[in-house]
Amino acid sequence: MVSIKKDITQNLNRLFEFILPKKDKYANEKVIFYLRLYTGVMRAEDNLNAGNYARTINLLKVVRNTAGSTQFREESVFLERIRDIAHDSINFLSVQKKGKKQSAFYTILTKLQMAQNLCILRILKREGK
C-alpha cells in the first residue's frame, strides 16, 4: 500500500511540474499537500453521510496526522485549525459510535466543510500571488 501512495504522489508531482513552473516547487508542494488534505476531508464527509463512522474516524485520523506533520511552518495557523476540526470530529463520532445520542450531526458536517474551505482558500491564495 505504501508503494501505491508513493506512485500517486510521484505522478501528482510530475503533473504539477508540467502544469506549474518549476521555480515555484515549494509552492507546488504546498498545493499538493492541501489537495491531499482536501481529498481526505471529502472522503470522510462521504463516509459520514453513508453512516460509516468507523471509516470516517480512520480518514479523519489520517487528516489529523497529516496536518500535524508538515514542513510548512508559515501555514501552522491554518493546519492547526484543520487538525482541531478533525480531532473534534473524531471525538464526536467516537461518542456516536458508542451509542450515546447527540443531535449535532450537522455540526460535524459543517466543520468538515469548513476544513474543506480552508484547504481551497489556501490553494487559491497560492494562485493569487
Domains in the chain: ranges and CATH: 2-127 (1.20.120)
Q: Mean pLDDT throughout 4-8?
A: 69
- Sequence-separated (6 or more) residues with CB below 8 Å from residue 42: 116
pLDDT digits (tens, 9 = 90+) for 62-116: 999 999 888 888 889 999 999 999 999 999 888 776 665 556 678 889 999 999 9
- Work out the number of other CB atoms within 10 angstroms of the CB of residue 100: 8
**What is d(CA 117, CA 115) in angstroms, rounded to the nearest whole number?**
5
Q: Tell me the DSSP string of 59-87.
A: HHHHHHHHHHS-S-GGGHHHHHHHHHHHH
Q: Kindly report whether the global pTM for this prediction surpasses the value 0.75.
A: yes
**What is d(CA 71, CA 30) in angstroms, rounded to the nearest whole number?**
9
Residue type, 79: L
